[in-house]
Amino acid sequence: MASRELAGKVVASLAGASLPIRYEALDASSVARRDCDALILALPNGLAPEYVAAIDAAAGGSAAPVIIDLGADHRFDSNWYYGLPELTRERYRGERRIANPGCYATAMQLALWPVRELLAAPPQCFGVSGYSGAGTSPSPRNDVELLRDNLMPYALVDHLHEREVTRHLGHDVQFLPHVAPHFRGLTVTANLHLGVAVTHDSLRDRYLAFYADEPLIGIRDEAPWVSQVAGTHRAEIGGFIVAPGATRAVVVSTLDNLLKGAATQALQNLNLAFALPELTGIPVDTPA
């Protein structure tokens, strides 16, 4: 376990585990020298390529370890498998380089994919996240005092996750992110302009059928709340409100940005890479 800021601290003191593992401060060359079957990189954007290059150089032509990048550096790289398991696992061909999707990008794609061929215009996705999504480097977006009793909009055009979803969904998306005072969990309210008329039931049934075999995706009639999903490994999708005229609808997608939006998904991808059952090590939560 590597961390520049937590070097020397016992992992168990933070994670509640019983293993006496301590964090180490490891640079790229130090990581590359470790004999690992798999590495999960959770680095600030822009730093992962240095580590990947060092790992490849150390492998010296032999099989390098599986690398899962939780950052954004490889989500646009066609040489890396883009691992949103519920949507892309059928395209996995044994790649040892896996780009984990962004948390917001996961919630948006789960909300939009079942209706992507029905979209008549770019969907508008209004997002609200807890401040854990802003990382640990001090900024206004993770300043608890600034966020108190507040809602902070940011990056309202051309956000990284807007570009990510547009690329992988194959359809233009408009994303409006905000940070709220809570710590974890995010919600995306997707405003959909459709080319065909729908009803609440037909829209809900479309999602139920699409995710019928996905134990980590819950479908509910009502819009899910962050407090119902935070701390779980599931994403919840609901609402399915249809406007008069029947060609505009609203769908709400909610997940824990630290779990299904990051760590849970990384573990799904790791299991996939080693041909293990996808939910190995992941509790299947009971919906709230």
Q: What is the 3-state secondary structure (H, E, C) of 140-200?
A: HHHCHHHHCCCCEECCCCCCHHHHHHHHHHCCCCEEEEEECCCCCCEEEEEEEEECCCCCH
13-17 long-range contacts (CB < 8 A, ≥24 apart) are: none
Which backbone phi and psi does 61 adopt, to 5 degrees? 95, -20
Quick: pLDDT tens for 226-270.
999 999 999 999 999 999 999 999 999 999 999 999 999 999 999
Find the helix packing angle between 103-112 and 160-169, rounded to 10°: 40
- Arithmetic mean of pLDDT, 121-146: 84
The CATH code belonging to domain 103-256 is 3.30.360.10
- The catalytically annotated residue of 41, 103, 176, 190 is 103
Q: pLDDT band at residue 15, thresholds of 50, 70 and 90?
A: low
Cα(174)–Cα(110) distance, rounded to whole angstroms? 15
Q: How is residue 235 written in tokens?
A: 């994403």
For residue range 28-69, what is the model confidence (pLDDT) as tens digits? 999 888 888 999 999 988 999 999 999 999 887 677 899 999
103 is catalytic: yes
- Of 175, 125, 137, 172, nearest in space to 154 by CA: 175
DSSP 64-83: PPEEEE-SSTTTT-TTSEE-
User: Pairing mode, if any, of strands 152-153 and 235-242?
Assistant: unpaired
| Res 101 pLDDT > 70 | yes
Task: Label residue 286 by pLDDT band (50, 70, 90).
Answer: low
* 262 membership: H or E segment, kind and range: none
- For a pLDDT cut of 90, what percent of the chain falls above it? 75
> Hey, which residues does 178 pair with through a beta bridge?
128, 153
- pLDDT tens readout for residues 85-97: 999 999 999 999 9
Cβ(190)–Cβ(252) below 8 Å: yes
Question: In this model, does residue 17 exceed pLDDT 80?
Answer: no
What residue spans define the domains of the chain?
A: 12-101+262-273, 103-256
